[in-house]
Chains A and B, each alone.
Chain A
Amino acid sequence: MPALDAGLATLASQTTPSAGSAPATTAAAGTTPTAIEIRGLSLTFKSADTPVVALDDINLTIRRGEFVSFIGPSGCGKTTLLRVIADLEAPSAGTITVNGVSPEAARLNRAYGYVFQAPALYAWRSVLRNVMLPLEIIGMTATERKTRAASYLSMVGLAGFERKFPWQLSGGMQQRVSIARALAFEPELLLMDEPFGALDEITRDHLNDQLLRLWEQTGKTVVFVTHSISEAVFLSKRIVVMSPRPGRILEIIGNDLPSGRRLDVRETTQFLEVAHRVRQALRAGHSYDD
C-alpha cells in the first residue's frame, strides 16, 4: 500500500513529536498550525418562555490535520458547536477563529465541507450532478467539475453509479455521495455531523474504515460529531466529551491508539481502555441520569 504509507508519512510530519505519547489535552498548543480556536464561547437560544443555554464557556483548540470527535448525549450542544464553526449559528459570547479568521470569513472562503446527519441530496439531480453542485457554485468549468466529481465518487466506492438518482441508492450509498460532495471542492476542513448515525452497524463499520483511510491519505482536519463511543475512539486523535444543560466540555481525552488502525483494533485492551475513559467521563457529567 504505497499510497497509504505516503499518507502516514505526511501525517507523521504534521504531528508534534510529543503528541504520540503525552496526553493530547496538554499538547493542544503544539507547534502545528491551529485550524480552529475557540475561547470562552457560549450560545443562548432565545425561546418563547425561557432562554436555552446551548453552549456554555467552550474552550477548544483544534490543530491542522487533527481528527477530533465531539461526543455526548442528545442536547449537549455538540451539533450546535459544529454549526457555530460552520457559521450556521452565531455565538452569543466568546471568540472563535477558523483558519485564523472569523467563521463567516472562513465560510465565504469556502474553507470547509459539511456532512449533515441526513444525506440532503437533491432528488432531481443524478449522483454525479449532486457531487458537482458545490463545484458549479464555485464556478468551476464543466469538464473540470465532471472529472473531479467522478474521481471523488470512485474514492467513496461509487464508480458506476454516476447516472443513478438518489432514490435508487441505499441509505449508506446516499451518505457516501454526500461525503464525496463535501470532499469534492477539496476543503482543508471537514465538518461531519453524525454522518453515519442513521445507518446500520455493518454499513457504519465499513464507512468508518473508509473515512479513516481517507483521512490518513489526505491529512485533512476532521471535526466529527457522534454519539457512539466506539466510533469516536476508533476514528479520533482526541475526543471531546460534552454534557447537556448547559452544553459544556467535560473532558478532552487524548487517544494514543496507533495510526493505521483497522476495525479489529476495537478488540484490543488499549481500545477498550480509551472507550472506558470516555464512558467514565460521560457518566461523570450525569449524562445518563435524565
Chain B
Amino acid sequence: MTIDAAALPTAPGIGAAADLVNRVGPVAGIVAVVIVVWYAAAVWLNAPQVIDRFKSDEKSWTTRELIDATWSMDRPVLPAPHQIAVNFYETVFQTPIASKRSLVYHAGVTVSSTLLGFLFGSVLGILLAVGTVHSPVLDRSLLPWIIASQTVPILAIAPMVVVVLGSIGFVGLFPKAVISMYLCFFPVTIGMVKGLRSPDPLQLDLMRTYSASPAQVLWKLRWPAATDFMFASLKVAIATSLVGAIVGELPTGAQAGLGARLLSGSYYGQTIQIWSALFMAATIGVALVAVVGLIEHLVARRMGKPA
C-alpha cells in the first residue's frame, strides 16, 4: 500500500485515505460487534422483568414492544448502550460541574486521589527499587514483604487504612491516596529493580574504570538504562492506582468520587448510573495511560530512540 502511494505521487490522498481505513477499520469493527452483542444481551437479560410487568398489567405485547421496553427500562439488569450514553451525556455536559449530580465532579475527586496515590506509589516504588539494587541486605529482606503485601486483598485492608488514618486525623483525600499507593507501588518496584539491573557488565565495568561513585553510576547509567522498564511499570501503576482510588471510596462511605457513585447506584438499583460511572472510570484509565505513554514518547525522543 505504501509502495503504491510512493510510486504514484499524483494520488497521495488515496493512499492516506486507505491508510486511515486500515487503521480505524478494525477498531470500528470490534466496537460495532460489541454494541450489537450488548443490545442482544440487554433484550435477553431484561426480557423476564418486562414480561412479568406486561403480565401483571394483563397486557398483550408484540415482539417490537418487548424489545423497545427492554431497551428503555428505568432500572434494567443491563442497560442498553444508548441509555448509558444519554445518562453519561446528561451528567457530564448538562449538569453544573459543582453539582453532586455531575459525573465530572465525581471523576475529579477520584482523579485527584488517583494522581496523589500514583505519585506516592511511584516514589515509594522507585525508592524501594533503588534500595534493593544497592543493598544486598535490603534485597533479601524487603522483597518477601513486598510480595506478601500484594497477596492481601485490598478490599480487606482498605477499611482498616481508612479507620487507622482517620483516628490520627487524616480524612478525605489522603487515606484514599494511601490505598492507591498500596496497590500501585508494587509494579513500579518490580519493574525498576529489573530496569536498574539492566545495564550489561561491560557498561558497569566502564564506570568502574572511571572510579565513578555509586551516585554517578545510578544517575548516569542505571537510571537512564531503566527508562523503558520505568514507563512500562508506570502504565500499569497508574491504571491500578485508579482502581485503588475507586476501591478506597467504597468503604469510606465517601460522599463523592466514582466509587461513591457506584455504591449509591447499587444501593438504589440505579444500574444506568453505575454503568456510566464505570464508563467514566474506563475513559479516565485509558486517558491516564495515554498521558504516561505520551511522556514516554517525548522522553524516548530526547534519548535518541529510533522512531
A107, B209: Cβ atoms closer than 8 Å: yes
With an 8 A cutoff between CB atoms, is A1 at the interface? no
* Interface membership of chain B positions 174-196, coded 1 if the CB is closer than 8 angstroms to chain A and 0 otherwise: 00000000000000000000000
Q: Does B112 contact A (CB under 8 A)?
A: no
Q: Are B210 and A88 in contact (CB under 8 A)?
A: no
Interface residue A218 (Cβ < 8 Å from any Cβ of B): no
Q: CA–CA, A120 to B304, complex, Å?
A: 16
Is A288 an interface position by the 8 A CB rule? no
Min CB gap A145→B, angstroms: 13
The bracket for how many chain A residues form the interface is: 20 to 34
By the criterion CB–CB under 8 Å, are A116 and B202 in contact? Answer: yes
Contacts of B225 in A (CB 8 A): 122, 124
Complex Cα–Cα for A109 and B217 (A): 18
Interface residue stretch chosen among A28-36, A130-138, A271-279: A130-138
Do B203 and A137 have beta carbons less than 8 Å apart? no
Tell me the minimal C-beta distance from B179 to chain A in angstroms: 35
Whether B224 is near chain A, meaning CB under 8 Å from some CB there, is yes
Judging by beta carbons under 8 Å apart, are B216 and A137 in contact? yes
Q: Is the interface of B mostly helix, strand, loop or mixed?
A: helix
CB of A114 within 8 A of CB of B209, answer yes
Nearest to A129 among chain B residues (CB) is: B304
Residues on B with C-beta less than 8 A from A112 are 209
Residues of A within 8 A of B306 (CB): 167
Instruction: Let me know if A53 is at the binding interface, CB within 8 A.
Output: no
Contacts of A165 in B (CB 8 A): 304
Verify A107–B208 contact, CB threshold 8 A: yes
Instruction: Name B202's contact: one of A107, A108, A120, A134 (CB within 8 Å).
Output: A120
Per a CB cutoff under 8 Å, which of B211, B212, B224 touches A122? B224
Task: Check B206 against A124 for contact (C-beta < 8 Å).
Answer: no
Considering the chains assembled together, what is the distance between the CA atoms of A88 and B211 in angstroms?
11
Q: Is B220 at the interface (CB under 8 A from chain A)? A: yes
Q: Which of A110, A114, A126, A185 contacts B304 (CB 8 A)?
A: A126
Given contacts A88-B205, A116-B205, A137-B216, contact A123 B304 (CB under 8 A): yes
Taking a contact as CB atoms under 8 Å apart, the answer to whether A108 and B209 are in contact is no
Q: Are A86 and B209 interface neighbours, CB within 8 A? A: yes
Q: Is the Cβ of B208 less than 8 Å from the Cβ of A88?
A: yes
Which chain A positions have C-beta within 8 A of B227? 124
A173 within 8 A of B: no
- Given A124-B304, A133-B220, A138 contacting B203 (CB threshold 8 A): no
Q: Which residues of B contact A158 (CB under 8 A)?
A: none
In the complex, chain B residues whose CB is within 8 Å of the CB of A124: 224-225, 227, 303-305
Name the residue on A nearest B207 (C-beta): A137
B221 adjacent to A122 (CB under 8 Å)? yes
CB distance from A252 to the nearest CB of B (A): 26
How far, in whole Å, are A107 and B208 apart by their CA atoms in the complex? 8
Interface residues of A in 137-190 (CB under 8 A from B): 137-138, 165, 167, 185
In the complex, chain A residues whose CB is within 8 Å of the CB of B209:
86, 88, 107, 112-114
CA A191 to CA B206, docked complex, whole Å: 12
Tell me how far the C-beta of B188 lies from the nearest C-beta in chain A, rounded to whole angstroms. Answer: 20
A:192-212 near B, CB below 8 Å: none
Q: Which of A122, A126, A134 contacts B210 (CB 8 A)?
A: A134
Identity of the chain A residue whose Cβ is nearest the Cβ of B299 in the assembled complex:
A124
Q: How distant is A245 from chain B, measured CB to nearest CB, in Å?
A: 24
B224 engages A137 (CB within 8 Å):
no
Is the beta-carbon distance between A116 and B206 smaller than 8 angstroms?
A: yes
Q: Is A19 an interface residue (CB 8 A)?
A: no
Chain A residues with Cβ under 8 A from B303's Cβ? 123-124
A137 adjacent to B220 (CB under 8 Å):
yes
Q: Which of B203, B210, B220, B306 is the most central at the interface, judged by chain A CB atoms within 10 Å of its CB?
A: B210
Chain A 27-57 residues near chain B, CB threshold 8 A: none
Within 8 A of A (CB), among B197-248: 200, 202-203, 205-212, 216, 220-221, 224-225, 227
The distance from the CB of A194 to the nearest CB of chain B, in whole angstroms, is 12
A90 contacts partner chain B, Cβ-Cβ < 8 Å: no
Are A138 and B210 in contact (CB-based, < 8 A)? yes
Chain B residues with Cβ below 8 Å from A138 are: 210
Shortest CB–CB separation between residue A229 and chain B, in angstroms?
26
Is there contact, CB below 8 Å, between B208 and A122? no
Which residues of chain B are within 8 angstroms of A136 by Cβ–Cβ distance?
Answer: 220
User: Pick the contact of B203 from A107, A122, A134 — CB < 8 Å?
Assistant: A122
Q: List 21 A-B contacts (CB under 8 A).
A: A88-B208, A88-B209, A107-B211, A112-B209, A113-B209, A114-B206, A120-B203, A120-B205, A120-B206, A122-B221, A122-B224, A122-B225, A123-B304, A124-B224, A124-B225, A124-B303, A133-B210, A136-B220, A137-B220, A138-B210, A167-B304
- Besides A86-B209, A110-B211, A134-B210, 12 more A-B contacts (Cβ < 8 Å) are A88-B205, A88-B209, A107-B209, A108-B211, A120-B200, A122-B220, A133-B220, A137-B212, A137-B216, A137-B220, A138-B210, A167-B304
What is the interface of chain B, defined by CB distance below 8 A to chain A? 200, 202-203, 205-212, 216, 220-221, 224-225, 227, 303-306
Q: Please provide the 5 A-B residue pairs with the shortest distance between their CB atoms, ordered closest to farther.
A: A165-B304, A124-B303, A120-B202, A114-B209, A137-B210
